[in-house]
Structure 1
Amino acid sequence: MLRNLIFLFVFFIVLISCKQDVNRNVTMQEDVAYLASDSLQGRETGTLYEKEAANYLERRLEEIGLLPKGNAGTYFQTFSFKPKTDPHSEVQFVGGDSTITGTNVIGFIDNKADKTVIIGAHYDHLGMGGEGSLYAEGDAIHNGADDNASGVSVLLNLAAKLRDTVTQHNYLFMAFSGEEMGLLGSNYFSKNPTIDLAQVNYMLNMDMVGRMREDKTLSISGTGTAPIWGQVLNVNNPGFKLVLSESGMGPSDHTSFYLQDIPVLHFFTGQHEDYHKPSDDSDKLNYKGMEMIRDFILSVMYDLDDDDKLAFRKTKNESEDTPRFKVALGVMPDYLFDGKGMRIDGVTDGKPAALAGLLKGDVVVKLGDSTVVDMMSYMRALSVFDEGDATEVTVDRNGEKISANITF
């Protein structure tokens, strides 16, 4: 009898262990497949579908073995706000009628260290479209596989890799809500943190990391927020074509932590023709590329593990120098292009570029009287035009210079 009881005890221990291993080894494809499924209706902030996604992330963090680090001993940090009517005003975090409630999902690995790394990715998206959508044919589910189920799946995979690795850092994993409405979840957490921000060494943000190209181009911004970033990224680079930007400010959640004087990095594989459209689906992601990014991030973290706390450095806010313009060409720029000019990564039907016959892959080298050598010079050239103006645009198409007339 005793022998049988011992056998059963050992059997259940093995069974539980195997169950934990299986749960920790959920693939990135499986996480993305669920988060970007039609059943979640695009995960719009404040909807029941976003809450279903939050419940899934809670289960995943619990299965992996992370401690809850939201409010009141849960994995959730909720925040309520009134939608902005003035696009230039700041959002008001309030309660009461006519409010929307978002939910950050937060888990913690406590290594009893005096330094903590925050790893974040937003999990909300555009729901059925609405403001922010680039789809012109009415309501449709915007699944947001690259934006940003890709970043969340890498986050979960990193959590599983780091769970049983004893290092000199603690790790706070955060899936942010409200990013698409203006970095709301990360903004709220940065002002209502569930850990001591003074102990945070740095923050890593993964937003749209699922569409790595054949040339392995990887954009990393925030490299000026700590003096050591450039060195540690280049030393650990496994073969990426790195496009580095110093600014800690940008249209993603790392900005909220940069504004708290925390060194940040934002990993990004570039925009594409499915950006903010219903066609951003899970079968289009480069999962091998996502694994490369995960391994690269781990290498950087391990390299920094026994270093002193990173020194924070303020960077120039590049958005302050961005020209304002009243017209649009109707193209998706290739932000990872490092040649001369502005490469077009997508053309919107019915807009000036499409009507002029411009194509994806064309490189704009002249707009009006201005020579275009990079993104900034393109924006400066565009900023001088008003609606109704006409001008000439010159593009490089496979080595051939082609000119066309544009009417804004």
Structure 2
Amino acid sequence: MRLFFFLLVAAILCINCKTKETFQFSLEETVNFLASDSLKGRATGTLEEQQAAAFLANQLKELGFAPKGVEETYLQTFTFMETRDPHKEVEFITAGEGTTTGTNVIGFYDKKAEKTIVLGAHYDHLGMGGQGSLHRGDPEIHNGADDNASGVATVLKIAEKLKDSLMSTNILVQFYSGEEMGLLGSNYYVKNPTLEMNEINFMINLDMVGRLREDKSLSISGVGTSSRWNQSLNVNNPGFKLILKESGIGPSDHTSFYLADIPVLHFFTGQHEDYHRPSDDSEKLNYEGMNEIADYIVAVCMDLDNSPKLTFKMTKNESEEVPRFKVGLGVVPDYLFDGKGMRIDGVSENKPAQKAGLQKGDVVVQLGDSLITDMMSYMRTLSTFEKGDATKAVVDRNGEKIEVDIEF
């Protein structure tokens, strides 16, 4: 393990040798590096992930953040045995044959304050594909520009802006490994913190914030975890179309902190047809939108800088209400759609939706005998079908109602 640390620290020093005397942070440069083919998708435990960790440690150093990992470094490693059983929780163990070691990257800006905010984002991705990939075909590099180089770069931009703006709040920046394998890095940190957990005021998680749309739809989850969130988010909103969700539990790293009784927010610009595919590349990101999101979060953090520490509130676990499916339609739902029905944001090849002629932008308003009014009604209806069933669907396509035959 010590050899592992020395190699990563050496890599950081090597990067430092090449940096300019005056550091100028760039969203695009950070995304382009993390989402480059040379990092081969940043899979957890790979040499390429270690290279990404060294790069991020250097970014934090250049921004003036002190190491807050272990052994006076920016790094916190964790080792686990992989499991393919989705119902079995991963156990963190000592290194050995058949284990994988992930690396969290952590930096701290000390304002000598009594409370600290956590800015977090996962930086791992799917490597060459495998489990979790929606790609069909030969293995290809999954660069993960939106998922989640976008979140990492935006966290760094926020950290750059806040370090000289906050007066009464310390800043803890964390980049997690192992998120794609089950929120492993954030889970490990919460169980093995390098800062007292009772000092943390709140945690902000950015996961997939690189595809802000023209209507500026922005999903924010966790608003029910503190009574202050709604007020601060609305008062400081510069013009986003906010889609606010109460639950502090979701498929990203804020969940780990929520389960430790810490108020959380998760920012998300929506899923798309490049999600978990090799086509999630850096040139497709909306960098202006990422800057706008960064400025918004900075305003929220500054609004709460001199306020008392937030009081944590438990929320309903919305994931417990999600039905289990025996079949799938083969679409990527538009989770930011707030109209009637379920709008399709992408269609998978050789799946029921594509075979029925459904297209991106179609809004499913009826499935079988059930009217579809929102995402939950769609999921409940879909859960009633089994493989081999046939039904009809009605979609709204640019104002025209179209009926199609679906075979599961």
2:42: which partner in 1?
43
Tell me the SS of whatever aligns to 1:93.
coil
1:302: which partner in 2?
302
2:282: which partner in 1?
282
Structure 1 residue 162: deviation in Å?
2.3
Give the Cα separation in 2 of the matches to 1:293 and 1:310: 22
1:273: which partner in 2?
273
1:341: which partner in 2?
341
Structure 1 residue 159: deviation in Å?
1.9
1:73: which partner in 2?
72
1:162: which partner in 2?
162
Give the Cα separation in 2 of the matches to 1:19 and 1:40: 22
Structure 1 residue 227: deviation in Å?
0.5
Tell me the SS of whatever aligns to 2:376.
helix
Map 1:175-254; keep pairs closer than 5 Å.
175-254=175-254
Map 1:134-149; keep pairs closer than 5 Å.
134-149=134-149
Tell me the TM-score normalised to structure 1 length. 0.94
> What per-residue deviation string (whole Å, max 9, x for no partner) do you get for residues 304-340 of structure 1?
0111110100000001111111000000000000000
Asked if 1 retains the 8 angstrom alpha-carbon contact of 2:115 and 2:170, the reply is yes
Give the Cα separation in 2 of the matches to 1:119 and 1:397: 40
2:4: which partner in 1?
none
1:12: which partner in 2?
none
> What per-residue deviation string (whole Å, max 9, x for no partner) do you get for residues 219-264 of structure 1?
0000000001011000000000000000000000000000000000
1:89: which partner in 2?
88
Give the Cα separation in 1 of the matches to 2:300 and 2:166: 16
Tell me the SS of whatever aligns to 2:223.
coil
Structure 1 residue 157: deviation in Å?
1.3
**Residue type at the aligned position of 1:109:** Y
Moved more, 227-236 or 161-170: 161-170
**Residue type at the aligned position of 1:170:** N
Tell me the SS of whatever aligns to 2:387.
coil
1:313: which partner in 2?
313
1:255: which partner in 2?
255
1:100: which partner in 2?
100
- The Cα RMSD (Å) is 1.0
Give the Cα separation in 2 of the matches to 1:85 and 1:274: 25
Give the Cα separation in 2 of the matches to 1:154 and 1:334: 23
2:58: which partner in 1?
59
**Residue type at the aligned position of 2:58:** R
**Residue type at the aligned position of 1:208:** M
Give the Cα separation in 2 of the matches to 1:129 and 1:37: 15
Tell me the SS of whatever aligns to 1:186.
helix
Tell me the TM-score normalised to structure 2 length. 0.94
> What per-residue deviation string (whole Å, max 9, x for no partner) do you get for residues 92-115 of structure 1?
101222100000000000000000
**Residue type at the aligned position of 1:282:** S
**Do residues 404 (structure 1) and 387 (structure 2) align?**
no
Structure 1 residue 369: deviation in Å?
1.1
Structure 1 residue 166: deviation in Å?
4.7
Asked if 1 retains the 8 angstrom alpha-carbon contact of 2:147 and 2:207, the reply is yes
Tell me the SS of whatever aligns to 1:218.
strand
Give the Cα separation in 1 of the matches to 2:118 and 2:211: 24
After superposing on structure 2, the runs of 4+ consecutive aligned residues of structure 1 that deviate more than 4 Å are none
Q: Which runs of 5+ in 2 are unaligned?
A: 1-18
Structure 1 residue 19: deviation in Å?
5.0
Give the Cα separation in 2 of the matches to 1:383 and 1:64: 49
Count the aligned residue pairs.
Answer: 389
Give the Cα separation in 2 of the matches to 1:162 and 1:248: 24
Asked if 1 retains the 8 angstrom alpha-carbon contact of 2:53 and 2:105, the reply is yes
Give the Cα separation in 2 of the matches to 1:298 and 1:158: 6
Structure 1 residue 383: deviation in Å?
0.5
Give the Cα separation in 1 of the matches to 2:159 and 2:399: 46
Tell me the SS of whatever aligns to 1:158.
helix
Give the Cα separation in 1 of the matches to 2:266 and 2:342: 22
Give the Cα separation in 2 of the matches to 1:257 and 1:166: 22
Asked if 1 retains the 8 angstrom alpha-carbon contact of 2:207 and 2:268, the reply is yes
Tell me the SS of whatever aligns to 2:262.
coil
Q: Percent identity?
A: 65
